[in-house]
Amino acid sequence: MLIFNKKASDCSESEVTDKSVYLNRRQFMKTTGGIVLGAGAIGQVSAALQDGNPLSPPISLKPYFENITETSFGKDDKISPYDVATSYNNFYEFGYGKSDPKDRSSEFQTTPWTITVEGEAGKTGVFDLEDIIKESMLEERIYRLRCVEAWSMVIPWVGVPLADVLKRFEPTSKAKYVYFETLYDPKQMPGQRSGGLDWPYREGLRIDEAMNPLALLAVGMYGSILPNQNGAPVRLVLPWKYGFKSIKSIVKIRFVEEMPKTTWAMLAPNEYGFYANVNPNVDHPRWSQKQERRLPGGVLFPNVIETKMFNGYEEEVGSLYAGMDLKRFY
Ligand code: MTE
């Protein structure tokens, strides 16, 4: 985010996966339980998709991933290829280059995984992620992801509504905001061994934003679990906000009374606000936010499209900001 990296437009238009092809693959994943089969089956899948193989869920979660509820979100959007969504990433804990997260996260340990819940809530403590997931049905939500750097993708996430999970912790009336924190483990996360950001990565939401039905706690994408570079094993997905709000590899949730300090707003408050709602009318001080490059797109076909208010989710979230000056609260 510090650098507007143009080089990444490394894929051509022809690589875009048609949704019907992807859905066929979903069907395939369902009937095979998400297991990568023998050469014939692999050939069938890769011939249809040509964009990489989703990871298999662990045995304990397999039944949940075999019964993902499909939703109508994003039915008109063209899904970005798996290969692009998993190789062009921002996950500074693993480095600042777009390919660093994939190249440097293969050894990252994500099981077992616990989340510590603290603060203004009736139920606090340390919770096993698997137990949190198993309480809900997994849903697929095809969402547009708009990065503040002015590129975007369309990703089929798998997860549970954030509100469902948060409500189970019984937030008190003092819980005006929710704070999230990424794992801090410099041994596993090479990016944390150097400065740059003030680790751990921190994010936050107003409680009503967190409870909005669009907010997703994602544990998967493309019908299976999250690859490490995409924030395994659990991350936020907030499609109406710039991508940096969608914090990865969450280990802590804290219900708080005051607006929490968040990573990017602490680093450069004039460039990155707490709200970070996608807004084509408020430019970043160093570049315009009116348009975005929908990936994949190359130098010859940059695939530039107009950016929409709230990333096109105004109907769902506009009321959260009624009466607010969005130029001031960016
Ligand atoms: N979460 C953590 N912990 N560290 C990060 O560097 N980058 C953010 C967000 N979540 C980031 C993070 C940014 S800037 C973006 S655009 C999205 O993750 C990118 O998600 P993706 O790599 O899955 O596309």
pLDDT digits 0-9 by tens, 101-154: 999 999 999 999 999 999 999 999 999 999 999 999 999 999 999 999 999 999
Which amino acid, one-letter code, is at 137?
Answer: M
Domain 13-319 = CATH 3.90.420.10: yes
Q: Which residues pair with 69 in a beta bridge?
A: 139
* Residue 229 to residue 239: CA distance in whole angstroms: 18
Q: What is the pLDDT of residue 26?
A: 53
Return the bridge partners of 133, or none: none
Q: Which two tokens stand for residue 96?
A: 């600042």
In the block, which residue shows the tokens 């999250």? 226
Q: Which of 46-50, 82-86, 228-232, 311-315 has the lowest mean pLDDT?
A: 46-50
C-alpha 238/C-alpha 139 separation (Å) is: 15
Residue nearest to ligand 1 atom 24, measured at CA? 89
Report the nearest atom of ligand 1 relative to the CA of 101.
22
Phi, psi of 189 (to 5 degrees): -115, 95
Contacts of 115 (CB under 8 A, 6+ apart): 126, 127, 129, 132, 234, 250, 251, 252, 253
pLDDT of residue 18: 44
Whether 312 contacts 146, CB under 8 Å: no
For residues 257 and 120, give the distance between their C-alpha atoms in angstroms, rounded to a whole number: 8
| Model pTM score | 0.88
pLDDT confidence of 218, banded at 50, 70, 90? Answer: very high
Does residue 34 register a pLDDT over 80?
no
**Which runs of consecutive H residues, i.e. helices, occur in the chain?**
19-31, 39-49, 62-65, 82-85, 100-104, 129-134, 162-168, 207-210, 263-267, 314-317
Average pLDDT over residues 183-209: 96
Residue 134: strand, helix, or coil: helix
Determine whether the shortest distance from the Cβ of 91 to ligand 1 is under 6 A.
Answer: yes
Return the residue matching tokens 């975005």: 292
**Ligand 1 within 6 A of 228 CB?**
no
Check whether 144 is labelled as a binding-site residue. Answer: no
Question: Nearest residue CA, atom 9 of ligand 1?
Answer: 244
The better pLDDT of the pair 47, 328 is held by 328
Interacting residues of 302 by C-beta distance below 8 A, sequence separation 6+: 9, 293
How far, in Å, CA of 154 to CA of 85, rounded? 8
Query: Which of 79, 248, 249 to mutate to test ligand 1, by most ligand atoms within 8 A of the CB atom?
Result: 248
Give how far Cα 293 sits from Cα of 4, 16, 147, Å.
Answer: 12, 14, 10
For residue 242 and ligand 1, the question of a CB distance below 6 A is answered with no
**Which tokens is 277 given?**
């709602």
* Ligand 1 atom nearest to CA at 89: 22
Query: Is the CB of 182 inside a 6 Å radius of any atom of ligand 1?
Result: yes
Longest CA–CA span in the chain (Å) reads 58
State the pLDDT confidence band at 168, using cuts at 50, 70 and 90. very high
Ligand 1 mean position to 172 CA, how many Å?
29
Fill in the amino acid letter for 54: P
Whether the bond between 227 and the residue before it is cis, its omega within 30 degrees of 0, is no
Distance of CA 56 to the CA centre of its chain: 19
What pLDDT was estimated at residue 19?
Answer: 44
Q: Which residues contact 191 (CB under 8 A, 6 or more apart)?
A: 91, 92, 93, 94, 95, 96, 100, 197
| Ligand 1 near 218 CB (within 6 A) | no
Taking residue 129's Cβ as centre, other Cβ atoms within 10 Å add up to 20
Q: What is the mean pLDDT of the chain?
A: 87
Strand 114-119 relative to strand 177-182, pairing:
unpaired
Helices (H), 86-155: 100-104, 129-134
Tell me how far apart the terminal alpha carbons of the chain are, to the nearest angstrom.
16
Minimal CA–CA distance to 150: which of 318, 304, 16?
304
Answer for the pair 158, 68: CB distance below 8 angstroms, yes or no.
yes
